Structure 1
Amino acid sequence: MRIISVNVNGIRAAQRKGFFEWLAKQDADVVCIQETKAQEHQLDTTLFYPGGYHCYYFDAQKKGYSGVAIFTKQKPKRVGAGLGWEHVDSEGRWIQVDFDKLSIASLYLPSGSSSEERHQNKLVFMDRFLEDLSAMRRKRREFVICGDWNTVHKEIDIKNFKSNQKNSGCTPQERAWMDKLFGERGWVDAFRAVNQEADQYTWWSNRGQAWAKNVGWRIDYQVITPGLKDKVRAADIYRDERFSDHAPLTIDYDL
């Protein structure tokens, strides 16, 4: 099974940059998209519903903001939008498809980079979300949670580690949360299951020459339950074209 996760930073902008032409060549079974920045009624069905896929969108109430989507070749047994609490549901930050014993979700975790208030808002979200993740672990199914988690885990996951310690997305508190996620809570970073190399980034600032110089952050993940760890076969970050400030993350599973 091939799963792609990508923050498109506006699905209409990504479409204009050739995202759907690229996607048609990837033979992906499931595609998880974040930050659609559109209301579904604004989307042309001939452009934003690729052939061969069942397409599900979950929009933020605020126009032009957030939003997630999932495209899947196999029709799911259930589609769930939101997690039952306001910060997720009103801002369109979670959509999930369920198959027999597997659930796949598209997550857009808040960014805290714009202000201290937004950073604190993100930390509150993370604490609440961690309890949802623990509840998922207790279910008799495997999970793949794809998305923009807006947080690096370790020094290897960011080019300029020391200078970003006070910046949201790289603070000690956020990285400790990731330690807990991948430690005592038992979740697995699918990318690192098969790739331990440095300089593997998924997001680059639009300032300066960050993209050209590969001064990036790895903040996009496919986070999986431990039962899937040995099923990860390959991982790729696509950089030959640029559809947004994030790169698509493709992971192949033996499922």
Structure 2
Amino acid sequence: MNKPVKFVSWNVNGLRACIGKGFIEQFQQFDADFFCLQEIKLQAGQIELDLGPDYVQYWNYAEKKGYSGTAIFTKHQPLSVWYGIEENAEPEGRIITLEYDDFYLITVYTPNAKRDLSRLDYRLEWEQRFADYADKLKSKKPVIICGDLNVAHLDIDVKNAKSNKGNSGFTDEERSCMTALQQRGFIDSFRHLYPEIEDRFTWWSFMPKVRERNIGWRIDYFLVSEQLKHSIAEATIEDHVMGSDHCPVTLTLQLG
């Protein structure tokens, strides 16, 4: 595998809509080794994506039409591919895991607790299963987790922390799940490099002028297991890239 290795993750909030807003051009500009998507909102056969001969495509579609779903486009043929957590299936299309000689790559779209928190209990149970799964893989080789984890972990990860406390994505329970994942040895690559930087967000509401005023949340991450900490060369938030209510985030690892 060529080194350094570049990873991109982007919740596109509907890939077909994002393609109409310049996705292919952005994809080409990134020229990543691994390009991971969440919330593709597609079914099999609804799109033919020509990314050229360099990329292998892996898709995990949700059973429900126009909902959730993930994908990974990569220049590197994996040893194995797994969809889901315990079983090699995921009805909401939320997870893809690729295995390589030196690491596992997981792209994930974590369930939203919903505005009224009606799905919080499901979310917390899902978080526990996911953490156990990632931990099990980590016992074999290093793990890279990327995606929309649907939580702002620290106060500086949301614009108005005080008024947002208790809201979906910023409840004590959801934030504790991220803390617990990090306590298992998964490092937030962006905060590792930039522990105190503020006003760097990855998601903005569609409400008028919210993105222009940068009233956002940082809920998209690259987490790496402890073994890869010293391989982190760069982690960026590409908040100038439009096309979705989320922006892409990147990770560059110096492997080998």
TM-score interval, smaller chain = over 0.9
* Residue in 2 that maps onto 1:194: 193
| TM-score, length of structure 2 as denominator length | 0.93
How far residue 51 of structure 1 moved from its aligned partner, in angstroms, is 4.3
Amino acid across the alignment from 1:155:
D
d(CA) in 2 for partners of 1:170 and 1:223? 19
Compute the RMSD of aligned alpha carbons: 1.5
- CA distance in structure 2 between the aligned counterparts of 1:60 and 1:53, rounded to whole angstroms: 22
Counterparts of 1:201 and 1:143, CA distance in 2: 24
- Correspondence 1:206-221 to 2 at 5 A: 206-221=206-221
Q: 1:100: which partner in 2?
A: 101
State whether structure 2 residue 80 is matched by structure 1 residue 78. yes
Distance (whole Å) between structure 1 residues aligned to residue 175 and residue 125 of structure 2: 15
**Structure number having the greater helix percentage:** 1
Distance in 1 of aligned mates of 2:208 and 2:121: 27
Unmatched 5+ stretches in structure 1: none
Aligned-partner Cα distance in 1 for 2:177–2:84 = 22
Structure 2 contact 134–143 (Cα < 8 Å) conserved: no
Letter in 2 for 1:189: D
Distance 2:180 2:38 in 1: 24
Counterpart residue identity of residue 127, structure 1: Q
SS in 1 for 2:144: strand
In structure 2, C-alpha distance between the alignment counterparts of 1:157 and 1:238, rounded to whole Å: 15
| Partner SS, residue 44 of structure 1 | coil
Structure 1 residue 149: Cα displacement: 0.2
Name the CA distance, whole Å, in 2 between partners of 1:233 and 1:206.
33
Partner of 2:163, secondary structure, is helix
Residue 20 (structure 2) aligned to one of 3, 16, 24: 16
Separation in structure 1 between the aligned mates of residue 137 and residue 49 of structure 2, nearest angstrom: 33
Instruction: Check if 1:241 corresponds to 2:241.
Output: yes
TM-score (ref. length: structure 1) = 0.93
Tell me the distance in 1 between the aligned counterparts of 2:147 and 2:246: 11
Between the two proteins, what is the percent identity of the paired residues? 39
Superposed displacement of residue 200, structure 1: 1.1
Work out the CA distance in 2 between the residues paired with 1:218 and 1:96.
23
Structure 2: gaps spanning 5 or more residues = none
Tell me: CA distance 1:187–1:70, structure 2 relative to 1, closer, same or farther (3 Å).
Answer: same
Q: Aligned residue for 1:254? A: 254
Q: 2:10 aligns with which of 6, 11, 30?
A: 6
| 1:151-166 aligned within 5 A | 151-166=151-166
Q: Tell whether 2:36 aligns with 1:32.
A: yes
1:234 shift after superposition: 1.1
- CA–CA separation in structure 1 for the residues paired with 2:171 and 2:219: 13
The one-letter amino acid paired with 1:162 is K
**For this pair of structures, how many residues does the alignment match?**
250
